[in-house]
Structure 1
Amino acid sequence: MTNKDKLHVESSIKDENKIIERRQQIVDAGVKLFKEKGFHRATTRELAKAAGFSIGTLYEYIRTKEDVLFLVCDNIFNEVTKCLSQFPADTGTLTALEEAIRQYYLLIDKMPEEFTIMYQETKSLPKEAMHYILDKEFEMVAIFERMLKGCVEAGSLNLDDNAIYLAANQIVIQGQSWAFRKWALQKRYTIEQYIKLQTTMLLQGILKFG
């Protein structure tokens, strides 16, 4: 990994489109393998086989097993950013906030293994990469902070900065709880039911606080 404008994984391949395509295959294989065996027990040779590559081809796109874990984590944040970019912070409406929460939770429902692996295995990354991922986590919380502040500025909510920060963290945490506990929660709730209940409880608490 190198650190220029952002941390990235080195590759000997020059074709950027090919890198994106092959690395997505590696990420998909890594998620399945890490879920089955755990990050530490999985080997790069097993990873290459799961991705359908020779070990030599694999090393053209990544250098270490930690690179794959980093790519899994970074892919999550790219998807979250893409998902939430359609909700400007200055809309200031509770309806927009509710829909942003809904879309974020639906994304988690599509990527439960990725989110679980990220939180279980981030500690296995080199320090520089681990801090990069943790910074990305703060950025994710900050997206909801900005939305909540927009609601406050529009008069839809009445919260101070401390309450806004806690509420933003709560939104992120409750969404990720679906990934960690989906095996149990889905026995009682659909994802839409879970979203409705969590959002209702969150907003009722915020409105009562305000």
Structure 2
Amino acid sequence: MTRSLKNKSPKSARKTVITGQKKIKNNEVISATVASRIKNPELVRKKHLHIAKKASKLFIKKGYHQTTMREISKATGMAIGNLYGYISRKEDVLSLAFNAYHQYAQESLDKKEGVTSNNPEDLLRLFVRGALHNVRIFREEIILMYRESRTLPKNELQNAQKKEMTQIQILETIIQRGINEKLFRPQDSFFAASMVYHQLIFLTMRGWLFSRKYSTEETEALLEDYIINSIVLPKNSLP
């Protein structure tokens, strides 16, 4: 799902992803549903990504409803009139924040498609580790999305749900392969994938439960082992 954290601290990795240079494909729009009066697609893409990054920080700090368009204008360095050249309403800014995260996550998944291993357990571990990395780096953004999803326009909420479902379907495919090869325990790959996905997200909501006893690395290692052991059959039980 993501790049390796090797030789990077969580703090430095976060700076690279959130405030650094482009991490989304140059030819991808951030949102096809956010209208813009500007006719230059590349400029719109850059401005939408810029708006999403700056506004996300405000929404995380103050909450969506407490953040004003004037504050978004100041954070982005764009005059109100210029800002409204790229959006039509405040809800568009929240939509851009959602879409920027999901596009990063999807691009991270796409990078893993070239993995040569066909072993379902290896693929499952790779997915889990990538997801844990994303959860660590984007913890505040994920909380923001769960907190503010009810504010999204209906079509944007459906779009966000569709993108989340795409990640679950990738995991479902891995689990189904393990079931077919009689290596995995579950009987229903979709249910298992959905449960694993939400166990991974759990750390963003209730990670404080473990922080008193374990380091971040220990918590992630324990959760990875818990998920793998709940899915993968013991070697001595294989036919």
TM-score after normalising by structure 1? 0.85
Find the counterpart in structure 1 of residue 7 from structure 2: none
Of all paired residues, the percent bearing the same amino acid is 27
- For the residue of structure 1 that corresponds to 2:39, the secondary structure is coil
Is contact 1:13-1:61 (8 Å) kept?
Answer: yes
Q: How many residues align?
A: 203
Deviation at 1:127, TM superposition (A): 1.6
Whether 1:41 aligns to 2:79 is no
Inter-partner Cα distance in structure 1 for 2:92 and 2:184: 42
Whether 1:75 aligns to 2:95 is no
Inter-partner Cα distance in structure 1 for 2:182 and 2:111: 22
Inter-partner Cα distance in structure 2 for 1:147 and 1:192: 25
Deviation at 1:144, TM superposition (A): 0.7
Deviation at 1:26, TM superposition (A): 0.9
Inter-partner Cα distance in structure 1 for 2:39 and 2:71: 25
Farther off after superposition, 36-45 or 116-125: 36-45
Q: Mark the CA change 1:187 to 1:14 in structure 2 (over 3 Å): closer, same or farther.
A: farther
- For the residue of structure 2 that corresponds to 1:171, the secondary structure is helix
Whether 1:116 aligns to 2:143 is yes
TM-score after normalising by structure 2? 0.75
- Calculate the aligned-residue CA RMSD, in Å: 2.4
The equivalences for 1:122-141 within 5 A come to 122-141=149-168
Q: Mark the CA change 1:16 to 1:201 in structure 2 (over 3 Å): closer, same or farther.
A: same
Whether 1:156 aligns to 2:180 is no
Deviation at 1:208, TM superposition (A): 5.8
Find the counterpart in structure 1 of residue 128 from structure 2: 101
Match of 1:86 among 80, 102, 111: 111
* Unpaired segments ≥5 residues, structure 2: 1-30
Is contact 2:186-2:192 (8 Å) kept?
Answer: no
Deviation at 1:187, TM superposition (A): 4.8
- For the residue of structure 2 that corresponds to 1:101, the secondary structure is helix
Is contact 1:83-1:104 (8 Å) kept?
Answer: no
* Unpaired segments ≥5 residues, structure 1: 1-5
